[in-house]
Structure 1
Amino acid sequence: MRKNWKKALTLVMAAAMAAGLAGCGNGAKQAEETTAAQTEAAKTEAAKTEAETTAEPAEAEGLAVNTTDPIEISFSWWGGDSRHEATLAAVDAFMKKYPNITVKTSYSAWDGWEDKMSSQFATGTAPDVNQINWNWITSFSSDGSAFYDLNKLSDILDLSQFSEDYLAQCTVADKLQGVPISMTGRIFYWNKTTYDQAGIETPKTLADLRAAGKVFQEKLGDDYYPLAMNEYDRTIFMVYYLESKYGKAWVENNELQYSEDEIKDGLEFIQSLEADHVIPSIATIAGDGAASFDKNPKWMEGKYAGIFEWDSAATKQQGALNEGQEFVVGEELADMGDHKGGFAKVSMCFGISENTKHPAECAALINFLLNEEEGVKILGSERGIPCSAEGLKICEDNGLLNELVAEANSKVLSYVSFPLDPKFEASALKATNEGVYWDVMAGLSYGDYDLDEATEVLIDGVNKVLSK
């Protein structure tokens, strides 16, 4: 019986990551610092939740893919140019396999994409197949109304390729609302060429990073920074710092775990990075006129010599650099505190809209992309290291795992030891230019908030989301 772990999700994240890393991280080992206490707590809560429900996963509906009649399904995703190109090629291959099925595609960069999809799910106009963020399941479909129960399509979509733990994380309202594509986390990427020009090595510690600020300013000029972070990046890095220092998850059991003084400490830490010329101000980044760092000329030419990004974005960020720039995957900063903070989660999922008219054909497309050799070979690691056991094997056997992505993924998943609450990425908190994180970090950087005001806004915003 597949467990409904919805109530225990924040605890089970720790155990799920530890138990399943080998299947989703190219052999990455369990983080040694995942404590026995965390694991026991997760097991206890999971057992309690299991006792509270006897819900069995829905049976397969016995549908079959229509291979004769003309059918059109729609498919949406976000990403960079390399993901777009690979996905379009895979879609073309799928349509050759099923010549009666036409796949209408829509795709873009991330900026503005979540708002667009939120509106479409709210009005029932979302495409048939969607690349979705893990938190969209709880944000858009906490009652199971937005996404089709993929258990009903298990005759077509081979769910046996995915860890029960990962499927449990995508099960809400007793429905499997998404199939996990990959696990992911945040890691540092450095432009080694710029660091070489400054005469220093890429940072291995927070102390290295801090020292680089003054070196960059003195040797390269005021326009050069060892690291660049937007508002959301700063929030993630702040939580990383707090977890490392204080040894507790940001949110647990749907409650914020940090006091006003501790959060003020985290915000002051971010401010200090600006003051030390480690990161540019928000006004400086806004003045660059780019929606994302891979479109920002200062990253392309090396004036911003570091970013804090998703492991799955390695190829996108590397590809954005001008010729002659050397791109390297960094390390987690072990001197942040006595604990291993950080940011890791189910990267993204494929979900099928509840109101689709062609569920079987949608399931066939997802299975083709994640489990079948032809589709897997085309996509490679464009969406991260595959969670599908068969997909991972195909990639490994054919040398298809991008070395940078595999390196970044392994470093993240073998380090991070705290679970992520799915509401951390709620739109009200992280929405570009509108969410609480953006308001707080921009307000601090521009001087519109002092530390007390920013702390109050952040706590109130997080608690409001958690109360829903």
Structure 2
Amino acid sequence: MTLRTTVQRHPRSVRTLAVATTVVCSLTLAACGSGSDSSSGGKVKLSFSWWGDASRAKATEDAVAAFEKAHPNITVSTQYANFASYNQKLATQIAGGGASDLIQIDWGNQSQYAKSHTLLDLSTGPGKVDLSGLDPKFAGSGKDGDKQVAVPFGQATQSFVVDTTKLQSLGVPVPQASWTWDDLRTYAQAVHDKSGGKVAGISDPGTTWAAFQSWLLQRGKQLYTGDGKLAFTKDDLAQFWNFCTDLRKSGAATPANQTATLVSGPAEDPLAKGTAAAEWDYDSIYASHAAATKDTLALLPLPGESGRTGMYAKPSMLLSVYARSKHPKEAAELLSFLVNDPKAAAALGTSRGLFPNLAVRKQQAATATGNDKVVSDFEAANASQLAATPTAPPKGDGQLITLMQRIYGAVSFGQQSPEDAAGSFMQQANQILGQ
């Protein structure tokens, strides 16, 4: 995630017109994307946008190139940005009627876009996508009622990314997979103490909405009720923030100014900068973390509570066809290729987590090397520990992610107590959700 204000574009020299169209789109967001008919002489030009960093962009561009080779009548212009900037621009594009033909969406925004009729139904009509190769329950995470409005682009789960090189240099053992939150406290404090206060054991997870979700799941609770209301209390949130605050004050977790960089992407995180030895994140981001450091990294399951890790199979992100696309059939073909085809799997690796198609995923895991093998092995080792995937978050979930970052930021800078901040969060969150 980052707060960049410009869309990054991968150069594609053979697509001058497509790139030119993308440039104009970034300047006048409401005027482009799929809003103009780009067919000529039997050729179709699609637009595709997603979020991610340069390493994910390379993998995605390679997958798109494989699609174009298999579909010579279709060319694809692409654009990407990091998380925060991408979502802001996508919202603006949708409001102006000019989003890309194929868009990557966050699970937290799915309900909002579905309710506003922004996403095409992929279970019928010209945009129908074959999902027979995906786990039906996992594919169901892209449903809004009876409509398949999105398809998971990868399976991820929650993890801690650990710098084993750093731990070895400090003489701190890598935590065991069965660790608890008390073990995490002990480990993180040892890193701080043995580094003379130069390195925190973990990046403070207090700003992370999804980390709080795992904390709740470990305690038999949920973020939301079935009808989209908050399912936790002020005390639940205050307890989580008090735990994080204690870690921060002791130096076991990063200070506020370093924690604030967590929205800037792996290359700017405390883990990459060497000021933290571990960080909460999805395993689908592992390759980006690995690319940001020369140290050796490893993945660990989350610290548990009462034998529960709070981890589950989550769509790392989803693909949707824009409802106003002039080329829904071709956009659906691109989507289907990206979630089903072995050539797409070879290009994408685990840059978005495990590949959606189960048969292809199995083939991929058998020959995986490097970062892909780390992620595949991690998922396999923890498959039995995964809780049931929750239903798609309600409209407003994306706003709560930002709200948590802002309010806990005030806590970490000493401007509010965890209890007062939790009360403020609950009040504002209820307003956002319309409660």
- TM-score category, normalised to shorter length: 0.7 to 0.9
Go from structure 1 to structure 2 and tell me whether the alpha carbon gap of 1:321 and 1:453 turns closer, same or farther (over 3 Å shift).
Answer: same
* Cα distance in 1 for residues equivalent to 2:206 and 2:44: 43
Gaps of 5+ in 2: 1-38
Go from structure 1 to structure 2 and tell me whether the alpha carbon gap of 1:131 and 1:258 turns closer, same or farther (over 3 Å shift).
Answer: closer
Which amino acid in 2 is paired with 1:80? Answer: D
Go from structure 1 to structure 2 and tell me whether the alpha carbon gap of 1:228 and 1:293 turns closer, same or farther (over 3 Å shift).
Answer: farther
1:260 to partner: Cα distance: 3.0
Which amino acid in 1 is paired with 2:298? Answer: V
1:301 to partner: Cα distance: 4.9
- Aligned pair partner of 1:191 in 144, 152, 163: 163
Please name the residue that 1:263 is paired with. Answer: 237
Which amino acid in 2 is paired with 1:360? Answer: K
Question: What TM-score do you get using the length of structure 2 for normalisation?
Answer: 0.81
Please name the residue that 2:6 is paired with. Answer: none
Residue 365 of structure 2 contacts residue 376 of structure 2 at CA under 8 Å; is this kept in 1? no
Residues 35-82 of structure 1: per-residue CA shift (max 9 Å, x gap) = xxxxxxxxxxxxxxxxxxxxxxxxxxxxxxx99612111001111222
- Aligned pair partner of 1:304 in 271, 276, 280: 276
* Cα distance in 2 for residues equivalent to 1:269 and 1:241: 11
Which amino acid in 2 is paired with 1:71? Answer: V
Go from structure 1 to structure 2 and tell me whether the alpha carbon gap of 1:312 and 1:159 turns closer, same or farther (over 3 Å shift).
Answer: same
1:405 to partner: Cα distance: 1.4
* Cα distance in 2 for residues equivalent to 1:382 and 1:217: 31
* Cα distance in 2 for residues equivalent to 1:390 and 1:377: 13
- Aligned pair partner of 2:397 in 411, 426, 444: 426
1:292 to partner: Cα distance: 2.8
Go from structure 1 to structure 2 and tell me whether the alpha carbon gap of 1:438 and 1:453 turns closer, same or farther (over 3 Å shift).
Answer: same
SS of 1:135 mapped into structure 2? helix
Go from structure 1 to structure 2 and tell me whether the alpha carbon gap of 1:158 and 1:419 turns closer, same or farther (over 3 Å shift).
Answer: closer
Please name the residue that 2:299 is paired with. Answer: 329
Go from structure 1 to structure 2 and tell me whether the alpha carbon gap of 1:76 and 1:405 turns closer, same or farther (over 3 Å shift).
Answer: same
SS of 2:47 mapped into structure 1? strand
- Aligned pair partner of 1:152 in 109, 113, 124: 124
* Cα distance in 2 for residues equivalent to 1:460 and 1:312: 33
* Cα distance in 1 for residues equivalent to 2:391 and 2:430: 13
Please name the residue that 1:250 is paired with. Answer: 223
- Aligned pair partner of 1:402 in 351, 366, 372: 372
Counterpart check, 1:439 vs 2:414: no
Please name the residue that 2:324 is paired with. Answer: 355
Residue 249 of structure 1 contacts residue 419 of structure 1 at CA under 8 Å; is this kept in 2? no
* Cα distance in 1 for residues equivalent to 2:126 and 2:43: 23
SS of 1:251 mapped into structure 2? coil
Please name the residue that 2:193 is paired with. Answer: 218
Instruction: Please list, as runs of the form range in 1=range in 2, the aligned pairs for 1:120-131 lying within 5 A after superposition.
Output: 120-131=93-104
Residues 98-132 of structure 1: per-residue CA shift (max 9 Å, x gap) = 22322010012223221211222222211001122
Residue 331 of structure 1 contacts residue 411 of structure 1 at CA under 8 Å; is this kept in 2? no
1:231 to partner: Cα distance: 5.1
Residue 67 of structure 1 contacts residue 98 of structure 1 at CA under 8 Å; is this kept in 2? no
Which amino acid in 2 is paired with 1:226? Answer: G
* Cα distance in 2 for residues equivalent to 1:274 and 1:419: 31
SS of 2:393 mapped into structure 1? helix
What percentage of aligned pairs have identical amino acids? 23
* Cα distance in 2 for residues equivalent to 1:158 and 1:111: 31
Residue 133 of structure 2 contacts residue 358 of structure 2 at CA under 8 Å; is this kept in 1? yes
Please name the residue that 1:450 is paired with. Answer: 417
* Cα distance in 2 for residues equivalent to 1:72 and 1:137: 25
Counterpart check, 1:295 vs 2:267: yes
* Cα distance in 1 for residues equivalent to 2:355 and 2:377: 14
Please name the residue that 1:383 is paired with. Answer: 352
Gaps of 5+ in 1: 1-65
* Cα distance in 1 for residues equivalent to 2:84 and 2:56: 15
Residues 239-261 of structure 1: per-residue CA shift (max 9 Å, x gap) = 433443x4222322233333333
Go from structure 1 to structure 2 and tell me whether the alpha carbon gap of 1:147 and 1:402 turns closer, same or farther (over 3 Å shift).
Answer: same
* Cα distance in 2 for residues equivalent to 1:210 and 1:329: 18
